[in-house]
Amino acid sequence: MKLNIEVDEEACEEITIRCRKIDARVLRAEKILKQMFDTSDDLCLLHDNTECFVPVSEILFFETDGSTRGVAAYTKDRKYHTDRTLAQLEAELPYSFIRASKSCILNAMKVSAIARNLTGASEVSFRSSDKHTYVSRSYYKPLKERITELRLR
């Protein structure tokens, strides 16, 4: 692996990783760089009209809840709300968060089990929690791959 640094006073700062394939070293470099530049370990979420600063690592999943409040965020103990859309959250959240359906993003590091259902959505359970959500058939394989990838690091 080689490292190139180009100085361009007109350009905005960006880091590009160019590789033949994504392997463990590339993923590790990505993770380290994301952590270095991620200034926010907490998300500002609402709970009963109170703004709470919740560590991202404690969030199990985000889900559209059909209400006017937009997206619900679940930890093992509480349900919060945010005005952000799932698309916005997906772009902002760490690599451990992955889409599980059109209406859900989950933290792959918190998954304890997936009850496979070949004809429909599979039920996802989380560590140290009785909460669960569902992964649709089209998102099952990418979720399983992400979980495997994260657990092998």
The DSSP symbol for 97 reads E
Q: What is the pLDDT of residues 73-90, one digit of tens each?
A: 999 999 999 999 999 998
Q: What is the pLDDT of residue 38?
A: 58
Q: What is the pLDDT of residue 37?
A: 63
∠ CA 3-11-92, nearest 5°, is 80
Q: What is the pLDDT of residue 24?
A: 85
Q: What is the pLDDT of residue 64?
A: 93
Task: Report d(CA 4, CA 17) in Å as an integer.
Answer: 10
3-state helix, strand, coil split of the chain in percent (to 5) is 30, 30, 40
Q: What is the pLDDT of residue 153?
A: 55
Q: What is the pLDDT of residue 9?
A: 82
Q: What is the pLDDT of residue 150?
A: 79
Residue ranges of the chain whose pLDDT lies below 50: none
Q: What is the pLDDT of residue 111?
A: 95
Q: What is the pLDDT of residue 123?
A: 95
The answer to pTM > 0.75 is no
Q: What is the pLDDT of residue 32?
A: 67
Q: What is the pLDDT of residue 95?
A: 83
